[in-house]
Amino acid sequence: MRKLLYLTVLLLLTFGCGVTKKTIQIDRITETHYVDSTRWHDSTIYYIVPIERYRDYTSLLDTLKLETSLAKAEAYVDTTNNTLKGSIENKKDSLKTVIKWKERIVQKDSLVYKEVPVEVEKEVTEYPKSYWWFMGFTLFTGIYFGLKVFLKVKFHKTI
């Protein structure tokens, strides 16, 4: 029974301490975003508006009519109410239009994950030299007393 106890204590002293190692952890951290679709850019339309100026005059009780390439205007004096009245009207299809472009926009969309290894460092504790000297002294005395007990048990004569 004592031999088993000594063997257990010896094994615990021998294999009780381990070595701290660095580990490598792999994470998926890179994400790339691609867009895949087609859109049509609407037509860009330009209107060419001519700059015109037209002046005219008439007598007080007559109707004044003005006309440009884009609109017709009319003004007159209403003598019954003592007011000046007028109207203006745009002509149909009077603006020249130019369609500049109509383009197609292509985009691609997808997610790509790339595995990137990330090194994670563990803290390694460093012990002072006095601890190492004390551990050596303890091991030496443990081995000394272990051998002493072993020799005593082995060569002990039973009467």
| pLDDT tens digits, one per residue of 96-138 | 776 666 566 666 666 667 777 777 777 777 888 899 999 999 9
| pLDDT tens digits, one per residue of 26-53 | 555 556 665 556 666 666 667 777 888 8
* Count of H-run helices and E-run strands, the chain: 2, 7
- Please give the model's pTM, rounded to 2 decimal places: 0.33
The pLDDT score that the predictor gives to residue 54 is 86
Distance between CA atoms of 100 and 48, rounded to whole angstroms? 13
Bigger pLDDT: 55 vs 16: 55
142: number of CA atoms within 13 Å, CB side? Answer: 14
Delimit the domains of the chain by residue range.
2-9+31-154
Three-state secondary-structure class, residue 23:
strand
| pLDDT tens digits, one per residue of 73-99 | 999 999 898 899 999 998 887 677 766
- Residue 30: φ, ψ to 5°: -95, 125
